[in-house]
C-alpha cells in the first residue's frame, strides 16, 4: 500500500466520521425542538427569554410543528 492509498483511506474515514457527527447533531437538535414545542413550560420559558409576543410565539411554534412533521430530506 502506498501513501496515496493510505491518504485516500484516511480521507474516507474522516468523511464518514464527519457525516456521523452531523447526523448525530441533527438528531439531537430535532429531539430538542420536539421537546421544546410539546412542553408548555419549556416553550413559555423560551418565548419569554427571546422576548417574543404571544402572537409571534404561537406563529413560530406552529411553523416548527409543521416543519418537524415533514419527512427529513437533504434539502431540509
Are 33 and 68 a contacting pair, CB within 8 Å?
A: yes
Q: How far apart are the first and last CA of the chain?
A: 40
Going residue by residue through the chain, which has 76 residues, state the pLDDT in tens, using 9 for 90 and above.
788 888 888 999 999 999 999 999 989 998 898 898 889 899 999 999 999 999 999 999 999 999 888 876 656 5
Rg from Cα positions in the chain: 19
pTM over 0.75? The answer is: no
Domain residue ranges of the chain, discontinuous segments joined by +: 27-69
Helices 40-49 & 54-69, crossing angle to 10 degrees?
120
Say how far apart CA 55 and CA 69 lie, in whole Å.
21
Helices 3-38 & 54-69, crossing angle to 10 degrees?
130
Amino acid at each position: 500500500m502506498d501513501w496515496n492509498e493510505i491518504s485516500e483511506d484516511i480521507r474516507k474515514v474522516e468523511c464518514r466520521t464527519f457525516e456521523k457527527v452531523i447526523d448525530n447533531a441533527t438528531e439531537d437538535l430535532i429531539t430538542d425542538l420536539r421537546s421544546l414545542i410539546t412542553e408548555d413550560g419549556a416553550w413559555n420559558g423560551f418565548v419569554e427569554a427571546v422576548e417574543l409576543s404571544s402572537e409571534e410565539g404561537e406563529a413560530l411554534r406552529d411553523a416548527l410543528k409543521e416543519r418537524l412533521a415533514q419527512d427529513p430530506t437533504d434539502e431540509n
